[in-house]
Copies of this chain bind each other. A is one copy, B any other.
Amino acid sequence: MRLTVHDIARVANVSQATVSKVLNNYSGVKESTRKKVTDAIEELKFTPDSVARSMVTNKTNTLGLIVGDISNPFFAESAKIIIGKAQEKGYDVIISNTDHDDENLENAIQTLISKRVDGIIISSISRSSMRIKKLHENGFPIVLYNSRVEGDSSNSVVLDNYRGAVLAVDHLVGLGHQNIAFIAGPTKYLTTYERYLGYREALEKHGLVLNTDHVYDGEYDYRKVYDFSYNLLSSPDRPTSFFATSDQMALAVMDAAASRKISIPQELSVVGFDNMSISANAYIGLTTVSQQKENMAELALKKLISLIEKTESDALSIQLSLKPELIVRKTTSAPNKK
């Protein structure tokens, strides 16, 4: 049995409207009656019903966050920042996990909207999604995080993925590597696709030829990447280095290498992408391209809030590209001379 404003009104001996006014800090209410009301609220420990409130204000103070896989530390760490900043601004966040499935994403958007969330941050969306364009045209507050859709001008915050991949390849080539395998991940994502382009063109720049047998462009599945790497490491044309498009997948590569008793970095160099916090662990020490998730997450959230609260001219949407940074640790070195 919930308490309502009417209960407070009765106890404070005022009308329901007045209670509502003190709840919302209206100016036109005498100090003495305000006190009567706050006392009653205090005494009965009343908290207003957000649902009813949303009903009339048309605001839920709830955001949606759609991620491909919340158990991936990159997403989890991003989510933590987003949740924290959202909380500061008075918003809660509903997290939807899509398992990188487009239909799940579609449904997630649907239910979030029917729940009237005030805005959505989407972090894993195919570069060809039609849905986003429509939402964007409708003026629904939406920000893409670490992803972007081709031909769409929705607000987005991403890393300069192309540059990031180039940095990684430059680093490996600089160390003397000529045979660089690539764990691309699903190229349906624009981010991974851009990294792929970066990889390809960086190879070209250095006069190296692309060997598609050395490129994995399947799902972000630990086991599959492990198997791919294991097999490749058993082949006669074994690469001297791997560049993986996510730290998690880099770990899968390292896992496979460990199983094959191939030591890192002496016999194999590995570069990741994300710089998830565990990668900094001295015991792991993964060389990686930093996503700057703190900045990205904060920027994405701020942008979303400003769209919702219309604190800035939302006429033009912004596509932010942050500068990547290569963090060299201990999984890369010059290859063995033969």
Contacts and interface: CB of A to CB of B under 8 A. Distances in A.
Interface of A: 47-52, 54-55, 60, 62, 69-71, 73, 76-77, 79-80, 83-84, 87, 92-97, 99, 110-116, 251-252, 254-259, 264, 277-278, 281-285
A52 B55 CA distance: 6
A55 B62 CA distance: 16
A257 B173 CA distance: 32
A62 B252 CA distance: 35
A97 B69 contact: no
B71 A251 contact: no
A114 B49 contact: yes
A92 B97 contact: no
A329 B284 CA distance: 16
Q: List 9 tightest A-B contacts by C-beta distance, closest first.
A: A76-B76, A258-B282, A254-B283, A71-B80, A255-B282, A50-B115, A71-B77, A47-B114, A258-B283
Given A47-B114, A62-B115, A97 B80 contact: yes
Contacts of A254: 281-283
A278 to B, nearest CB: 7
Contact of A51 (B51, B70, B71, B277): B51
30 contacts: A47-B113, A49-B116, A50-B115, A50-B116, A51-B51, A51-B54, A51-B55, A51-B115, A51-B116, A62-B115, A71-B76, A71-B77, A73-B73, A80-B97, A83-B95, A83-B97, A84-B99, A87-B96, A87-B97, A92-B115, A93-B94, A95-B95, A252-B281, A254-B282, A254-B283, A255-B282, A257-B283, A258-B282, A259-B282, A264-B283
Contact of A277 (B48, B71, B281): B71
A97 B84 contact: yes
A114 B113 CA distance: 20
B73 A80 contact: no
A168 to B, nearest CB: 19
A51 B60 contact: yes
